[in-house]
Amino acid sequence: MPDSTNHPHQKKNEKYLHLFWEYPPYIQGGLGVAGKALCNALSDYCNIDIVCPETPGAVAEQSYPCAIYQVKMSSFDHLSSTYTSGSHEYEQHTKNQINSFSKGVKAAHFTGYRAIHAHDWITADAAKSIQQANQPDQGNQQSYIPIILHIHSTQVDRVGEQTNGAIFIKEKQAMEDADKVITVSELTKQTIIKYYNIPSDKITVIPNSITKIKKIAHRFSHPPTIIFVARMEQQKSPLFAVEVICAALKKAPLARAIIVGKGSALNVIRDIVKFKKMDSRIEVLGHIPHEKMHLVYQNSDVLILPSTAEPYGLVALEAAQSGAAVILSDRCGASETLRSAPRLPMNTTDSFDSWVNTVVSLLSDEKLRENQVATQLDDLNKYSWNKAARNLLSTLEI
């Protein structure tokens, strides 16, 4: 296990600026969770300042080892599902929000950083404004502040291969402007090479990890339980997931299921569950605060993640750590970490039956499930946020 000693090539007094669109206590997805854990690990090696949009009513943690600056914005909504992703209205709304954030960041006059670490394209304009405001004087390149662009998700993942709109163009420009690009998986790296034409040697893969617990929390007695946790959007295949769950429950009469997440398909899923008369066996909970999710995981046995495009999938690691067997699609970056988890296709004629049969096997065979849970924990032990932090800092050795 990596130790917490200082990186041999980093000085403790160096400062790094991290730009986030989503950060605790506001969490919309895995970015907020991963961002906090990564910055917490980085703080063992250097000084970290975090900049994010101000969330009305939210109070930053006072004991957190990083300084957090919130940029005040008008009518900020974290780009929620107010508009359909990929629509003209969404792109225009996104543009307005980005401009507001970038202006606020620029007005704050951030200086003196070793590097600017922008998370996803939506903070790239703000990073560029800081870099331009800190141009080297008289050719002194030592004052140049490089931009590291950390890609957690792409528009190709969210919308599909056919995307070519304003957001895709902004993403591509952001990657071209950055000095280094970080991806959370090899899967995402290959997506960026193929669709954004970014050179392979500019991209470094640094997988997400998970905050370790010293001991797996007590698992309460419960019926065999399937769980699906995701945003209820097309990218996550929620309608496929609910059909798999219903079919599996018919073959496993003592089992039940829990569906967690919010999004445009949530009401449709509730209708499907009711139509199939499965509402007594399937709980559709909607959004659950992240700090409460451990209670759901501890009462679950099999997690399914049938995403058609999943750059990573942090929920898979969370479920695995809590003792659930995980089934992933072959388009899920977390499979590069959880190598022992089954990887199933989504685009073959027998995909549906493969998912149903694998779920039923793990639900009904306790020994099989226990063996997979044990090997998943071995997989997790090979990764840590501390290791991710050191790998990130090493990208600046150029």
- What is the DSSP code string of 105-142? HHHT-----SEEEEESGGGHHHHHHHHHHTPPGGG-GG
Residue 275 within a domain = yes
Residue 257 within a domain = yes
Q: Quick one: 130 and 30 in the same domain?
A: yes
Question: pLDDT tens, 144-184?
Answer: 899 999 999 999 988 888 777 888 999 999 999 999 999 99
The whole-angstrom separation of Cα 356 and Cα 352 is 6
Q: Quick one: 195 and 325 in the same domain?
A: no
Residue 163 within a domain = yes
Q: What are the residue ranges of helices labelled H in the chain? A: 30-42, 88-107, 124-133, 155-159, 166-177, 186-196, 238-251, 266-275, 293-297, 314-321, 351-364, 366-380, 385-394
The one-letter code for the residue type at 61 is: E
Q: Quick one: 175 and 254 in the same domain?
A: no
More confident residue, 349 or 208: 208
The one-letter code for the residue type at 14 is: E
Number of domains in the chain: 2
Q: Quick one: 322 and 200 in the same domain?
A: no
Residue 77 within a domain = yes
Of 212-216, 299-303, 374-378, the poorest mean pLDDT is in 212-216
Q: Quick one: 153 and 236 in the same domain?
A: no
Predicted local distance difference test score (pLDDT) of residue 106 = 86
> Would you call 21 exposed, middle or buried from its count of C-beta atoms within 10 A (0-12, 13-18, 19+)?
buried
Residue 333 within a domain = yes
Per DSSP, the residues of 161-196 read TT--SHHHHHHHHHHHHSSEEEESSHHHHHHHHHHH
The whole-angstrom separation of Cα 398 and Cα 395 is 7
More confident residue, 301 or 167: 301
Answer for the pair 61, 81: CB distance below 8 angstroms, yes or no: no
- Cβ neighbours for 104, distance < 8 A, ≥ 6 positions apart: 71, 72, 73
Question: pLDDT tens, 254-277?
Answer: 999 999 999 999 999 999 999 999
Q: Quick one: 176 and 60 in the same domain?
A: yes
Question: What's the domain range around 76?
Answer: 15-209+383-394
Answer for the pair 65, 40: CB distance below 8 angstroms, yes or no: yes
Q: Quick one: 44 and 150 in the same domain?
A: yes
Answer for the pair 211, 222: CB distance below 8 angstroms, yes or no: no
**CATH code for the domain in which residue 130 is found:** 3.40.50.2000
Predicted local distance difference test score (pLDDT) of residue 86 = 56
Q: Quick one: 355 and 389 in the same domain?
A: no
Answer for the pair 165, 186: CB distance below 8 angstroms, yes or no: no
Which of 149, 298, 283 has its CA nearest to residue 216? 298
Residue 216 within a domain = no
Residue 8 within a domain = no
The whole-angstrom separation of Cα 381 and Cα 377 is 6
Q: Quick one: 244 and 337 in the same domain?
A: yes
Instruction: Count the Cβ atoms, other than its own, within 10 Å of residue 34.
Output: 23
Number of separate helices (H) and strands (E) present in the chain: 13, 13
Pairing of strands 282-286, 203-205: unpaired
Q: Quick one: 28 and 50 in the same domain?
A: yes
